[in-house]
Amino acid sequence: MNILKHLKHIRIIMIGTTLPANIGSAARAMHTMGLSDLVVVNPRLPIDETSHANAAGAASVLNNAVIVNTPEEALADCSLIFAASARTRHLPRPVVSPKQSADILTDYFSQHDNSQRPKVAILFGREDRGLTNDELAIADYHIQIPANPDYPVLNVASAIQVISSFIYDAFYQMTQPTPKNAQQHECQPLMLTIRQDWDEPAITHAQKQALNDAVVDLMTRLDLADANHLKNLPQRLSRLTSRLQLDQKEHALLRALIAKITQKLNPT
């Protein structure tokens, strides 16, 4: 069984945690399901002895956890981003179940060999109010866990456990040998098609954000946008580039086009 070679490319990101104990509980949930890459963004309190007490046997996950100040730092090298949310917010992304998110991941990874496998992130929000609209707008997909409609809120560590369990099971099934007489079932297309047969690696979140910023700047120069009143333009561009799923060469073509237009607007 070679599941860990896939799971090591999945990053769990916790944003604005209040209790260090919850970081430890999340680490335990991750370790149980073979995940090891934990990044904590701007926690109210640092990892402490209560974190380790709640982590139980997952000390390795806590010891290797990275603390950063912003989501952008945590996501800079990620090519596909999910966000866990109990509610649909303004300018929503495609909403998938935990099982669908796991299916997307196995399909996405199957298109890359291990040497070029992209980093994938799953965002989890604050204990009291989850993720902000801006944080949700970063994601390519929103994951919603089916739950009691009268109280659909899970503790963040519990949400990580549920989603991680579906991911582990999907990769476990993927790594099992297929019986010779097994029938092949065609999968129904998901809400957003994952590009097949990549010839170039996907762009990272940092590249996508820089491209979106360059487009906004160009539109401002062309009087197509007001720099002081952008409203939803950045979020709509983010959603557009998420759907495009650009690779490195496509990204380079667009950046070259923007650079040439900008040069024409500002001749030296």
Nearest Cα to 105, choosing from 219, 7, 238, 217?
7
If you average pLDDT over each of 12-21, 106-115, 148-157, 216-225, which comes out highest?
Answer: 12-21
Q: Comparing 267 with 47, which gets the higher pLDDT?
A: 47
Residue 27 amino acid letter: A
CA dist 69 to 25, 109, 210, 232, Å? 21, 29, 19, 24
Tens-place pLDDT, residues 215-263? 999 999 999 998 888 888 988 898 899 888 898 999 999 999 999 999 8
pLDDT-derived band of residue 93, with 50, 70 and 90 as boundaries? confident
In this predicted structure, what is the pLDDT of residue 196?
54
Task: Report phi then psi at 76, rounded to 5.
Answer: -55, -40
Q: Report yes or no: 88 and 128 within 8 Å, Cβ to Cβ.
A: no
Q: How many CB atoms lie within 10 A of CB 136?
A: 23
Which of 36-50, 71-85, 218-232 has the least mean pLDDT? Answer: 218-232
Q: Is the pTM of this model over 0.85?
A: no
In the structure encoding, which two tokens stand for residue 235, read together? 């979020």
Q: Is residue 191 pLDDT above 50, yes or no?
A: no
Q: Is residue 188 pLDDT above 60, yes or no?
A: no
Q: Is the dihedral of CA 58, 106, 242, 257 positive or negative?
A: positive
